[in-house]
């Protein structure tokens, strides 16, 4: 494997406005290419926006959704990828028959390289769950995808890495929502509206326990424990009614942040990843030291999953 220069993006989407969101994807893809990036990744359901779908009916979800193979949004991604000669990873609502999925795709020129369906969807009762982990080749690297909540279930990360992933693309729409964890909660709209004249209070909120502080409790651990690169993408500004902090970033297998967006605007960060760290990191040794004979039956024991977040249980 050769070194790979990856861009992770953040932007403020418009609810259901695919044309606008794809135009921003093109703008940031162009920027990434001009800065030498060889791959660019965007956030969860960035083509459609995310949070507003919690209030949509089944028919409205079906109307918003589209097929991936030869669907208009994926075809547009392919056009952008071909124009700028760079692979693009982005998310949308997929339709298959009368089912809809939170889906993330990778296109490289006119080819659909990968499609992943979120295993733990919850924003809409009408979203069906994905049923498999995926890995795929991209510029000589083995990659995997886990969408938002999928990354909080640690078995998902380990399973994807055991399937060979060197890079986990982790598109999110997260942070700045209530939680039992001290310091968590919504961020004031007043701070967002004053972001240009008085940016410090907003940055303190975004970097504190409501945003980056929470991410730093677990995101570096996923990379470190598994010895894998992590490409985290998150929207900035409003996604639906929720204000999001961005902080899109790229982490190495030591759990160190290589590059991060520290902006309130649509923007990208870029980092060069190197193959040497994959075997230098502790996670590589920990995987080799596993004793599945001791815990195979424990980990595989059946149970009833519940993924409802705190902010959706309080009415």
Q: What are the tokens at 157?
A: 């990360």
Residue 314, pLDDT score: 57
Q: Which CATH class name applies to 4-313?
A: alpha beta
Which helix H or strand E contains 272, and what residues bound it?
Answer: strand 267-273
The Cα diameter of the chain in Å comes to 59
CA–CA gap between residue 89 and residue 113 (Å, rounded): 10
DSSP state letter for 188: P
CA–CA gap between residue 77 and residue 35 (Å, rounded): 19
Nearest-10 crossing angle of helices 199-207, 212-226: 40
Residue 308, pLDDT score: 83
Residue 214, pLDDT score: 97
Residue 313, pLDDT score: 74
Helix, coil or strand: residue 53: helix
CA–CA gap between residue 280 and residue 276 (Å, rounded): 6
Query: What is the residue whose two structure tokens read 């991410």?
Result: 215
> Parallel, antiparallel, or unpaired for β 111-117 and 88-96?
unpaired
- Closest listed residue to residue 173, CA positions, set 13, 302, 290: 13
CA–CA gap between residue 230 and residue 273 (Å, rounded): 10
Query: What is the residue whose two structure tokens read 């399937």?
Result: 163
| Contacting residues for 195 by C-beta, under 8 A, at least 6 apart | 202, 264
Which helix H or strand E contains 106, and what residues bound it?
Answer: strand 99-108
- Do residues 127 and 102 lie in contact, with contact meaning Cβ atoms separated by under 8 Å? yes
CA–CA gap between residue 2 and residue 140 (Å, rounded): 7
DSSP state letter for 51: G
Per-residue burial over 36-52, b = 16 or more CB atoms within 10 Å of its CB, e = otherwise: ebbbbbbbbbbbbbbbb
- Sequential pLDDT tens for the chain (315 residues): 899 999 999 999 999 999 999 999 999 999 999 999 999 999 999 999 999 999 999 999 999 999 999 899 999 999 999 999 999 999 999 999 999 999 999 999 999 999 999 999 999 999 999 999 999 999 999 999 999 999 999 999 999 999 999 999 999 999 999 999 999 999 999 999 999 999 999 999 999 999 999 999 999 999 999 999 999 999 999 999 999 999 999 999 999 999 999 999 999 999 999 999 999 999 999 999 999 999 999 998 888 888 888 778 755
């Amino acid at each position: 494997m050769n070194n790979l220069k990856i861009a992770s993006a953040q932007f403020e989407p418009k609810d259901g406005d695919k044309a606008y969101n794809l135009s921003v994807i093109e703008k940031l893809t162009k920027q990434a290419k001009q800065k030498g990036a060889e791959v660019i990744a965007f956030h969860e359901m960035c083509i459609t926006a995310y949070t507003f779908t919690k209030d949509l009916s089944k028919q409205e979800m079906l109307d918003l959704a589209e097929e991936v193979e030869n669907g208009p949004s994926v075809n547009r991604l392919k056009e952008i990828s071909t124009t700028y000669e760079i692979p693009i990873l982005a998310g949308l609502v997929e339709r298959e028959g009368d089912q809809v999925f939170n889906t993330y795709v990778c296109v490289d020129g006119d080819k659909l390289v990968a499609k992943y369906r979120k295993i733990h969807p919850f924003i809409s009762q009408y979203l069906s769950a994905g049923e498999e982990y995926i890995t795929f080749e991209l510029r000589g690297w083995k990659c995997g995808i886990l969408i938002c909540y999928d990354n909080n279930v640690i078995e998902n990360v380990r399973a994807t890495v055991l399937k060979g992933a060197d890079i986990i693309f982790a598109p999110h729409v997260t942070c700045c929502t209530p939680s039992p964890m001290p310091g968590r909660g919504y961020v004031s709209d007043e701070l967002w509206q004053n972001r240009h004249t008085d940016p410090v209070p907003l940055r303190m909120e975004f970097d504190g326990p409501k945003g980056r502080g929470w991410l730093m409790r677990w995101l570096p651990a996923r990379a470190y424990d598994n010895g894998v690169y992590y490409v985290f993408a998150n929207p900035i500004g409003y996604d639906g009614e929720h204000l999001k902090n961005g902080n899109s970033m790229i982490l190495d297998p030591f759990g160190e942040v290589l590059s991060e967006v520290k902006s309130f605007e649509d923007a990208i960060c870029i980092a060069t990843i190197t193959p040497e760290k994959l075997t230098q990191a502790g996670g590589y040794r920990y995987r080799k030291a596993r004793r599945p004979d001791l815990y195979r039956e424990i980990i595989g024991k059946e149970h009833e999953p519940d993924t409802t977040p705190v902010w959706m249980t309080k009415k």
